[in-house]
Amino acid sequence: MKTNTLNIETAIQISKACDEVFEAIVDPGKMSHYFISESSGRLEEGKTLIWKFPEFDESFPVRASKIVKDKLISFYWDSFEGNELLVEINLESRSSNSTLVTVTEKSMENNEMGIKWLKNNTAGWANFLACLKAYLEFGINLRKGGFDYLIKTKEI
């Protein structure tokens, strides 16, 4: 059975408490160590921010929707086709002071463009989670230098 819409859902468990994970996502100073290069501010309910990534020339507007401390971060951002998409990051406390982080992004039509979005953004959110885990658990910035090939490709 073919569905008309496509959604992304990916998750990882991080060996840190929900409050630490939450702060690493809403605080641009922390986020710049694993995800973005800069932000126009802290991710807070009702605010619209501009995110920049080191590997892209474009800036990305992010409109915070609902924020529930230590539990939920949701925002809207534009897809590469100009559609506004909802991203929800859920934090669930687990045993041993760890947090299950689940990212959901929705939705695109089930067509060629939607499948391209699904492929690219699923990989992107999996990378986000791996980078967040590496940063919080080990202080490592996995993104640093990881996308230099994209920048060099643009220069050719």
Which CATH number characterizes residue 46's domain? Answer: 3.30.530.20
The predicted model scores a pTM of 0.90
Mean pLDDT over 110-125 rounds to 93
Residue 133 lies in a domain: yes
Q: Compute the CA torsion angle 62, 84, 122, 33 (nearest 10 deg).
A: -10
For the segment 47-71, what is each residue's pLDDT rounded down to a tens digit? 999 999 887 788 889 999 999 999 9
Residue 63 lies inside a defined structural domain of this protein: yes
d(CA 24, CA 34): 9
> How many domains does the chain divide into?
1
**Residue-number span of the structural domain to which 88 is assigned:** 5-148
